[in-house]
Amino acid sequence: MRNALCLEAFGTFFLCLAAAVAGEPLAIAALLGALIYAGGPISGAHYNPAATLAWCVRGRHRWLPGVAYVLVQLTAALAAAAVAGLLAGHDPERTAAAARAIDDPVLEGVLNEGVAEFLGTYLMAFVILMVATSRRTAGNGYAGVAIALVVYGAAILFARQAPTFNPAVMLATTFRDVFAAFTAEGEQFKVLRAELAFVAKFTPRYLLLVGLQLAGAAAAAFTFRGLFPEER
């Protein structure tokens, strides 16, 4: 169990770091594929609370270790946010944009983003369950490639909504600029206050989107169980 948790922390950290620093779907998908091959035999290579939920609902992962996985994944995401903030540094334009957005409606445009998060996470989770947990594909050597491709394809499909399909990645990208505030020269407190106010204002929006990601993952698991009841 210890090795599995360490691999989950390792993989989630670098996946979130790639998303928070680069943000390029191809780079994220390529790194994810490599991390799946590295950690798959040990932890299952979830690197995503939504994926862990899908495994648990599917019946291929116990719930208590699943909770431990999620806690490790979220902790790794915060660590990645801190490193990404230090690497990216303070961007005055991003802080100004956050200050302007503080007066925007919290749920403006959330329907489009929510649909993208639900459908993209559903698709990703179903592919994960098919290539990584099904007896029909047991022993295959393409699981990492398939999962990387579905993440890349879904990111391109829903590019206008900038989805993450991963609560850990959303946490890292949300808090990156909070940690970047510590690199602001001479005005750290002012910038930090602005970034924290932005995050606090839009927390209900983030929680709603995370809820839809988790709903998509659970729906994928129930779809799998409905299609293949003999694999329960």
The full set of domains in the chain, from first to last, is: 2-231 (1.20.1080.10)
Position of tokens 């191809």?
A: 26
From first to last of the 232 residues of the chain, give the pLDDT tens digit. Answer: 889 999 999 999 999 999 999 888 999 999 999 999 999 899 989 999 999 999 999 998 999 999 999 999 999 999 999 999 999 877 777 777 766 766 677 777 789 999 999 999 999 999 999 999 998 888 888 999 999 999 999 999 999 888 999 999 999 999 988 888 887 776 777 778 878 887 888 889 999 999 999 999 999 999 999 999 887 7
Decide if 118 contacts 124 (C-beta within 8 A): no
Angle between helices 110-132 and 188-227 (to 10 degrees): 50
- 209/206 Cα distance (integer angstroms): 5
Decide if 46 contacts 113 (C-beta within 8 A): no
One-letter amino acid for residue 19 of the chain: A
Q: Tokens at residue 61, please?
A: 């992962």
Burial class (CB in 10 A: 0-12, 13-18, 19+), 35: buried
Reported residue count of the chain is 232
CA-based nearest residue to 212, from 108, 119, 127, 82: 119
The whole-number pLDDT of residue 196 equals 83
